[in-house]
Chains A and B, each alone.
Chain A
Amino acid sequence: SVQAHKEEENPRKTMEVNGFMPVPDSYDYDLIVIGGGSGGLAAAKEAAKYGKKVMVLDFVMPTPQGSSWGLGGTCVNVGCIPKKLMHQAALLGQALQDSHKFGWQFTEEVKHNWMTMTESIQNYIGSLNWGYRVALRDKKVTYENAYGEFVGPHTIKATNKKGVEKLYTAETFIIATGERPRYLGIPGDKEYCISSDDLFSLPYCPGRTLVVGASYVALECAGFLAGLGLDVTVMVRSILLRGFDQDMANRIGEYMKEHGVNFIREFVPIKVERVEEGTPGILKVTAKSTTGDQIIEVEYNTVLLAIGRDPCTRKIGLDKVGVNINERTGKIPVNDEEQTNVPYIYAVGDILQDKLELTPVAIQAGRLLVQRLYAGTTTKCDYVNVPTTVFTPLEYGACGYSEETAVEKFGEENIEVYHSNFWPLEWTVPSRDNNKCYAKIICNTQDNERVIGFHVLGPNAGEVTQGFAAAIKCGLTKEQLDSTIGIHPVCAEV
């Protein structure tokens, strides 16, 4: 171990000479967290509370288009935060339309300026990046903007953007490297297409856009882009929102279609070419049907790929320390204490196999893990009944089982579904749809009609769902729900 530290200037030489890295007998840090996102930062800050010496490594590999960002991870920079803000921008556009019927008079045509919105959002994100730096400093967590990879037992190599390499050792590691958008693997994808990593800081309006994919990322982005007045098409290979309740998914799709989003179903792109340079320029997409031989060619200003995300686990040296990953997906299997097959290496967040990819889940898992490590608690992260919301134009909040999974697990005869359409009061005056908002609960008749699934489609679905998630955690039954008097006039009373 002394040798490794002396020859720090040329770690590669050390490794080549020895053929292996020796196990250090004292460590630079108690804990090193690889990845400064939701899970990583939560874990690091929690560990510092217990007086541990902690380091966080965060590094963003630029996208093929050159986009990069600061500390905070996906959620803050290219995920939840800018997404919700752009969704809000689109909702405000709708509100402006509605306002006429409520008496607001304005004669000027209302237009949207992409740059103004993007700058405001990026300014906010910049303040968050700084806030995280200050928080880490205040909690005395060491932070390096460097790419971390394992090079031997208890040892990682951190490479900063200038290529300077440093070695660090720690008693415990937490991998929280998150994911990045997947590319199609077709000609022109990396050169001409963008992903969500690029969209939120795009320095020009995307214009007529093709969104490839039917994930919540695809639908949310398509939704707000259309809401801002752009011509948007979604190209779907098979179903919408795989993994979510399919009845709700189809309702979301229908709503989007009726509100100006075009859908091309059962096609996949096979080639993207540039027809005209410019910002945004014109791209030609060639797509093939999944059910036949039909080929189509369509032109767009921008092509946004949202076909899935892959974990950043393949190039961080996991093989050097023997951490198992799922070879096909890249995800890391862990036990219910977030521990990998290597006892001193843990993992949290989106990279975990068979766990939900949500910021609050990563934060909770990270915090509880650190409390178990250093504060002697035994509480494990509860991954059941985690609420979530999809911020499509008509928002969808859910907690618990989808109808399909409930039927599969409990049997159709043991499930009772209670459902209803509702018409938000705010939508009545401006004559907006009276039969689109919808709510349903799925109850287990064998267990006192316990509510095991909650689904709501309507405005502010996220706000509505949060409270019900707490109730479900307490074991809410249909009877209790019935005996709870509603608040009027709100959507949640349904």
Chain B
Amino acid sequence: MAQRLALQRLLALPTRGPLASHGRAFGTSAGRRSTFNVQDGSDFQDRVLNSPKPVVVDFHAQWCGPCKILGPRLEKLVAKQEGKVLMAKVDIDDHTDLAIEYEVSAVPTVLAMKNGDVVDKFVGIKDEDQLEAFLKKLIGA
């Protein structure tokens, strides 16, 4: 994707997630604690692989339509789990090495990780019930 346009879009994007005011103050502050954007390889090591809590890793891309639907949907449901699971977001163009390492082909690809291992995975968009089940399985198992 052309970089000048990508930058323009980033700057113009309205802030989503934790900082967007939606009236549900409780939901957003919990969201801020449980969802984060991966900064680099060592950040991934610290906050995902070494995380004491299970983590869902959302591999997404700016040019991917379904990712824009799945992202917020997943974030909302992760926040609902009250801190039992965390969510890491990885932009595959910014962190291509990470995406290649975890064999991401299509996006969105979501990995469920526990103690540094991939225990579950899905590709493509899912509805709220399916996501809820996915998260519950990760927390429960």
Contact = CB atoms under 8 A, between A and B. Distances in A.
Q: Return the 4 tightest CB-CB contacts between A and B, nearest first.
A: A126-B63, A201-B2, A126-B1, A123-B63
Contact of A126 (B4, B8, B61, B100): B61
A119 B107 CA distance: 18
22 contacts: A62-B3, A65-B4, A67-B4, A68-B4, A69-B1, A70-B93, A77-B2, A119-B9, A122-B63, A123-B1, A123-B64, A125-B1, A126-B1, A126-B61, A126-B64, A126-B93, A127-B61, A130-B93, A200-B2, A201-B4, A201-B5, A203-B5
A129 B4 contact: no
Contacts of A130: 61, 63, 92-93, 107
Nearest to A71: B96
B105 interface: yes
Interface of A: 62, 65-70, 77-78, 118-119, 122-127, 129-130, 133-134, 137-138, 198, 200-203
Given A69-B2, A69-B3, A127-B61, 7 more contacts: A66-B3, A78-B2, A118-B5, A122-B5, A126-B62, A133-B100, A134-B105
B3 A67 contact: yes
B65 interface: yes
A124 B63 contact: yes
B5 A119 contact: yes
A339 to B, nearest CB: 33
Contacts of A134: 105
A138 B8 CA distance: 32
B6 interface: yes
Contacts of A77: 2
A237 B55 CA distance: 62
Contact of B64 (A69, A119, A127, A129): A127
B-side interface size class: 10 to 19
Contact of A137 (B93, B100, B107): B100
Contacts of B107: 130
Contacts of A65: 4
Nearest to B8: A203
A125 B105 contact: no
Contacts of A67: 2-4
A67 B64 CA distance: 21
A68 B65 contact: no
A129 B99 CA distance: 14
Nearest to B100: A137
Nearest to A60: B3
A122 B100 contact: no
B38 to A, nearest CB: 17
B100 A129 contact: no
A125 B93 CA distance: 12
Contact of B2 (A125, A127, A133, A137): A125
Contacts of A122: 1-2, 5-6, 63
A67 B63 CA distance: 17
A191 to B, nearest CB: 16
B62 to A, nearest CB: 7
Contacts of B100: 133, 137
Q: Which of the listed residues B2, B6, B9 has the most CB atoms from chain A within 10 Å of its own CB?
A: B2
A68 B93 contact: no
Contacts of A200: 2
